[in-house]
Every structure is written in structure tokens, then in C-alpha cells.
A and B are shown apart, each in its own frame.
Chain A
Amino acid sequence: MTGLSELYFNIDSGYLEGLVRGFKGGILKQNDYLNLVQCETLDDLKLHLQSTDYGNFLANEPSPLTVSVIDDKLKEKLVVEFQHIRNHAVEPLSTFLDYITYSYMIDNIILLITGTLHSRPITELIPKCHPLGSFEEMEAIHIAGTPAELYNAVLVDTPLAPFFVDCISEQDLDEMNIEIIRNTLYKAYLEDFHVYCSELGGATAEVMCEILAFEADRRAFIITINSFGTELTKDDRAKLYPRCGKLHPDGLAALARADEYEQVRAVAEFYAEYKQLFDGAGNNPGDKTLEDKFFEHEVKLNVNAFMQQFHFGVFYSYVKLKEQEVRNIVWIAECVAQRHRAKIDSYIPIL
């Protein structure tokens, strides 16, 4: 019964939900962004960030500041916060938080596979991995020469093994383009996460399934649009669509047959929220791109997750919102550093 789970939620996760809501309160508001946009140099930016929740995170950096340093430090803060939460979590929250890290793990594995295939030393690759997605067997990747060996030796022990099993066979690993492997893994991950959230039930299922459904549909749209004019066949493309969204099964079938942007738009017409997103987007300068509209919708869904209490969705939303904030700040920093202020307002406002 949903009522009961809410009553018992605070025993295990009350402290963490409070913590996450506190972190969420520190997310930059519109005012902060207005201040940042008016900066002339990166040092100005650092000054403004000091008055926010970030505080003196850049205090020990030698000048001159570069955008990549700011980027690294921002990410570091998020990683520290997330790891603190993860360390204090118990089941089922700990599994939920692990699911959140799997997407970064997928990226790391793909990076390590390509690096190993081209014989790069492992010490070069490890620092480039996303810290949230590290796993114990990372150091052992270099013993394998081909992706198939890699799978048999190393990846079977990682939490990502089931994603490989479902959809990729050994020969596929060797032949497939690395991007296709990445997208196949991500599809398996999304579907698995969706199933897990539905099993959790209650407010978590409500909030998370909606967010994950949107993510699945968004990937389907973007993969379709980006695959026009490439060597990706329609069948291959259809295999990359995650099936946990609203588009399944009719929308996905229609997308698999699409040949150009107008047809994709026609498919979106059948679904009210997606119709809105496609309407506002365009490729002319001054228009928002489709990706921007997707980002905005995602941010809206994530902010709405905080409206309900006693569910795990807040943790996922917090991570995603913080990531978006990091992207916004880095975008503004790049515009300031390159003195190209024309599009400095193209960040996605969060609160």
C-alpha cells in the first residue's frame, strides 16, 4: 500500500532526502544566471560563483583560469555530494543510486574499449573516465585485446553484464561500430531501470517512469533524426529504440520507417507533449533547436519530481538538474572566454 511505504520511508532515507532537498535549494536561480551572464572575464565568474552554494571551490586554482578547470571543479563537487549520499544509503535506495551510475559506467566502458583497441596505455584512459561511473574491474581492462575477450574476461563481473547479454553476441562486439554498442547498451539499461522502478511502486514508480519514458522517446527521436544520411540501416536503427516510452509500439514502428525530418515530425503530432516540442523548434538562427526543447522538457519533469515527498525520484532528478547546471555554467564560461556573447543566453533556465 502506498500509504505504508510513505510512513516507513523516513526510517532509512529521511536524512538523505532532507540532504538532497538542501542541495536542490542551492541550485542556481535565474538571478544568479543574470549575474553570470554579465561577467566580462572568467575571474568575474569565479567571484559570482563564490556567493552561491559553490563557495570557494575555485580558491586554490592558479590564475589564469581556464574553462576546463572550472568544468572539472564543478563536476567534482557533484561527485562528492553524490558519493556521500551513496555511502549513507541502504537497500533499496542503494540499488537505485547504483542504477543512476550505470549510465556513466556505460560511457566509461565504451571509452576504455576504444582506447584498448587502439593500444593506448591504461594509465592514460583512467583519468578520462567519469568518476561517477567507475567500477572495480576498470584497471583490468588492458589485459584484453579484442572486445570479445574484454567481455569474457572483465565485463561479465560488472553490473553491466546483463545489458550485454540481452542484445549483443560475441561476434557483434567485434564487428559493430562502437557507437552502436554504446546505444544498444544504453537501451538495455533504460529498459531495465524502468522495470526496476515499476517494481518499486508508489510515488517512485510514478515519477521515475514518466521521466524514463521521456528519455526513451527523446533518444528514439534523436537517433532517427541523426541517422538520416549515414550508413545506419533502418533495421539497425529500430534495434536502438528503447521500448519503455510512450512511443512503443506504434510510434517506434513509424519512426523506424521514417526517411526525413518531416516524417518524424508527423509521428510526433500524435503525442500532445511531443507535438509542442517539435512546434517550437527549428534550424534558423534565433530559433531554439530541438535538442534545446528536449532539455527544457527534461528539466521541467525533473523539477516536478520535487513536488512529491517520500520517493527516490528526487535523487535522480537532483543529479540530472545539477548536471544541467554544470553545462549551463560551462556554456556561459565559454562564451565569456571566447568573447562571443551572441548566444550567451542559450542556457537552459532551471528554477
Chain B
Amino acid sequence: MAGAYKSPKASTTYLRAQTTMKSRLAGAQKGHSLLKKKADALTLRFRAILKKIIETKVLMGEVMKEAAFSAAQAKFVIGDFNHVVLQNVTKAQTKVRSKKDNVAGVTLPVFEHYGDGSDSYELAGLARGGQQVSKIKKNYAKAVELLVELASLQTSFITLDEVIKITNRRVNAIEYVIIPRIERTLQYIITELDEREREEFFRLKKVQGKKKAIKAIAEIKRLELKALGVDVDNPADMLKDTHEDEDLLF
């Protein structure tokens, strides 16, 4: 390879490759910073959700305790009303809707509850414990609301977790694999170009040296001829030359 002569076309290929690589590197770096920003935004949201989940869970514990206690109070006054409630169920009075929320490009489902239909237990406990029944209805309604909220928080938690893992994987891939690869390729191209330049330089120098040597020998020859009386300063004059040329016979 050291002595091979490279055509000018090959070096432009190298140059083009170099510019391509440079643009790819710039692209990779831009992508890396964008993804990092996305990962940071998601992590921020993730932490906020985590805090909210902890708060809601603690509140949930208290609300459930309150609701269970009011159930015990109602049972004290009315007796066992489980089956009365269960048998009277027709359709759901509280329903859940899901909406989509967008965070840094990730769609998260959000659940919200809404009441549907009138209260079919309005007259329950009419003769005994009506107050307790309304209290327990209120308490459990609150518990259901909290549960729905907790559910949407937990689904977004899980979804965000997935997305953050994927994004971080991509960020790391770019940072530790793609960019070094491109940089190494770029390095290689640069070193190749340098080497070729050095080769060219070396060749030129060698050729120059050779030319100089030839020139020196010719000069010596000329001086020798001049010393013999041959006119070497002027170019040979054909008309003056009276040598008899032999006829050319075909």
C-alpha cells in the first residue's frame, strides 16, 4: 500500500466519506441531547407521580379504615344489611371514563369517575339506621373516588417506567456505541488521509531527488562534451551537419 499510486478520485471519496461522517456525528450528538432532555422530563414527571402515589396510598388507608368503621356502626343499628344491598344491585352507579394525557410525547391514560343514574338506595334503612346508611354511603363513595385516582396514578407510573427505560437505553446506546463508532471511523479516515498525504509528500520528494540526480549526471555529460569541443550550448543545427547519411533502402 505504501508504494501504490492512488488516483485523485480515491482521495475525494475519502473526503466525501469524511464529510458524511462529520454530519452523522453532528446528527447523533443532536439526537442524544434531545433524547436526554426527554428522559429528564419523563423522570421529573415520574418522581412527581411517585410522591402523589405515596400520599394517596396513605390517605387511602385512612379512608378505608373510616369506611369500615362506619360499616360496623351501621351494622350495629340495622343488623346484617349486606345481602339487602347485594340483592338490590341493578347497574353501576359510579362509572369510570379514561382520557389520554400527553407528557413529553408519551400518552398516559387518566381515569376519572362519574356518577350515573339516581341513588337506588335512597330508602334503605328507612325504619332503622337511615343516618348510618347515608354516612356509610358517603364514606365508601369517597373511598371509590380515591381508588380511581390511585388506579390512574399507578397505570401512568408503570407506563412511564417502561418508556423511561426505553429512552434511557437509547440514550446510552447513542452515547456509548454509535458516537464512538462514528468517531473511530472519522479518526480512521483522517489518519488514512494523513497517511496518503505523507505518502504523496514522500513520493514527490523521492521523484524530486531522482530528477535532481539525473540532472546532475546530464550536466556532467554536457561539460565533458563541451571539453571535447562539441558545441553543446547551442542545439544541434541540422543544416550545418554534413554527415553523409546512408541511403535508406527498403
Contact = CB atoms under 8 A, between A and B. Distances in A.
A94 interface: no
Contact of A330 (B76, B90, B122): B76
A334 B83 contact: no
A180 B130 contact: no
Contact of B122 (A71, A230, A331): A230
B109 interface: no
B89 A118 contact: yes
A114 B87 contact: yes
A44 B130 CA distance: 33
Contacts of B132: 291
Contacts of A111: 83-84, 87
A223 B126 CA distance: 5
Given A71-B80, A340-B65, A118 B130 contact: no
Contacts of A295: 77
Contacts of A180: 123, 126
B63 interface: no
Nearest to B79: A327
A232 interface: yes
- Give the size category of A's interface with B: 35 or more
A289 B135 CA distance: 13
Contact of A118 (B72, B87, B129): B87
- Of B69, B127, B128, B131, chain A has the most CB atoms within 10 Å of the CB of B127
Given A114-B87, A128-B83, A291-B77, A226 B65 contact: no
A178 interface: yes
Contact of B87 (A115, A223, A230): A115
Contacts, number: 79
Given A111-B84, A114-B87, A115-B87, A223 B72 contact: no
Interface in A206-250: 219, 222-223, 225-227, 230-232, 240
A226 B125 CA distance: 8
Interface string B116-149: 0000001111111111100000000000000000
A114 B88 contact: yes
B190 to A, nearest CB: 75
A340 B88 contact: no
B126 A179 contact: yes
B225 interface: no
B68 interface: yes
B72 A179 contact: no
Interface string A100-132: 000000000011001100101000010010000
Interface string B96-115: 00000000000000000000
Interface in A165-199: 177-180, 182-183, 186
B130 A338 contact: no
Contacts of B87: 111, 114-115, 118, 120, 125
A35 B69 CA distance: 21
Interface in A319-340: 327, 330-331, 334-335, 338, 340
A227 B130 CA distance: 9
B75 interface: yes
Interface string A253-276: 000000000000000000000000
B126 A226 contact: yes
A338 B87 CA distance: 26
A327 B75 CA distance: 8
A248 B201 CA distance: 126
Contacts of A114: 84, 87-88
Interface of B: 65, 68-69, 72-73, 75-77, 79-80, 83-84, 87-90, 122-132
28 contacts: A114-B84, A115-B87, A118-B87, A118-B88, A118-B90, A125-B83, A125-B87, A179-B124, A183-B126, A222-B127, A222-B128, A223-B126, A223-B127, A225-B130, A226-B125, A226-B126, A226-B127, A226-B130, A226-B131, A230-B123, A291-B77, A291-B128, A291-B129, A291-B131, A330-B76, A331-B76, A334-B72, A338-B68
Interface of A: 71, 110-111, 114-115, 118, 120, 125, 128, 177-180, 182-183, 186, 219, 222-223, 225-227, 230-232, 240, 283, 289, 291, 295, 327, 330-331, 334-335, 338, 340, 343, 346
Given A114-B84, A125-B83, 6 more contacts: A114-B87, A230-B122, A295-B77, A331-B72, A334-B75, A338-B68
